[in-house]
Amino acid sequence: EVATPTHVPGTEGALQWAAEVLFEKSSVEEVIRKEEWNLRRRNLSHGEHAERVALLLGRAATMAAPRVRSVSLEGSQLSPAGGAAIGKALRFNAVLTDLNLSGNNIGGQTDWINASEVEGESKEVGAKVLYEGREMVVSKGVNFDELKLVDAVQTGVLAIAKALEGNGVLKTLILYGNDICDEGAAAIAEALRVNGVLTSFS
């Protein structure tokens, strides 16, 4: 059940922030009337910013985004935590039909790092390794000297997959460019198997 606006603390502040920052000095009323949110390349790397967007599109959607059918967060620097927040929002939103999350870092990929900083029997692509105490998977390598890693447990991807299992309105979802590992891909595939509404996925 979608929470009513009066039961969602922080909605007014998040709306004011969205009007001034995300939509470049729009009024709150203009934000509420929007049917499309084009937030392409907005910087949502800060966890609080992603949480605010998720609040407005999720638990507070009946007040803050009642008409929004299409949202683009392409290249918005969403982290795994940001992806998890958006996944949670999808569990509440009953109107959003098109969502573009491409070109973010929901899979938790690192920059290029020295292979000597990584622990593991194998450093081939697909191998599980330890880096700074985190279990990760090698996603890219250059002669075993430099590596890129992604989170072995992809919390953002898993949250989105979980939401898809019960979401009955989303028709288009774009996730490419998020360095999703095998576990995340398997979770998405399973969600698509039980979701009877989504018709376009990439």
Distance of CA 46 to the CA centre of its chain: 13
User: Are 80 and 47 in contact, with CB atoms under 8 Å apart?
Assistant: no
Domain span including residue 40: 5-107+154-201
Number of compact structural domains in the chain: 2
> Looking at the structure, do residues 98 and 15 belong to the same domain, yes or no?
yes
> Looking at the structure, do residues 24 and 89 belong to the same domain, yes or no?
yes
> Looking at the structure, do residues 143 and 89 belong to the same domain, yes or no?
no
Contacts of 49 (CB under 8 A, 6+ apart): 43
Residue 9, pLDDT > 80, answer no
> Looking at the structure, do residues 57 and 141 belong to the same domain, yes or no?
no
Per-residue pLDDT tens over the stretch 167-181 = 999 999 999 999 898
Average pLDDT, the chain: 91
What are the two backbone dihedrals, phi and then psi, of residue 81, each rounded to the nearest 5 degrees? Answer: -65, -40
Q: What is the pLDDT of residue 2?
A: 40
> Looking at the structure, do residues 90 and 120 belong to the same domain, yes or no?
no
Average of pLDDT values for 185-202? 94
Could you give the CA distance from residue 150 to residue 3 in angstroms, rounded to a whole number? 34
Q: What is the CATH number of the domain that holds 175?
A: 3.80.10.10
> Looking at the structure, do residues 17 and 66 belong to the same domain, yes or no?
yes
Q: Partners of 138 in the beta sheet? A: 149
> Looking at the structure, do residues 36 and 136 belong to the same domain, yes or no?
no
Average of pLDDT values for 37-66? 94
> Looking at the structure, do residues 93 and 158 belong to the same domain, yes or no?
yes
DSSP, collapsed to helix, strand or coil, labels residue 175 as coil
Average of pLDDT values for 102-124? 93
Q: Which residue has the tokens 């927040």?
A: 85
> Looking at the structure, do residues 146 and 158 belong to the same domain, yes or no?
no
Residue 6, pLDDT > 90, answer no
> Looking at the structure, do residues 24 and 75 belong to the same domain, yes or no?
yes
Could you give the CA distance from residue 44 to residue 78 in angstroms, rounded to a whole number? 6
Contacts of 145 (CB under 8 A, 6+ apart): 114, 115
> Looking at the structure, do residues 118 and 188 belong to the same domain, yes or no?
no
Residue 151, pLDDT > 50, answer yes
Average of pLDDT values for 118-128? 91
> Looking at the structure, do residues 118 and 147 belong to the same domain, yes or no?
yes
Residue 4, pLDDT > 80, answer no
Q: What is the pLDDT of residue 182?
A: 86
Q: What is the pLDDT of residue 143?
A: 73
pLDDT band, very low/low/confident/very high, at 47 (cuts 50, 70, 90): confident
User: Are 78 and 104 in contact, with CB atoms under 8 Å apart?
Assistant: yes
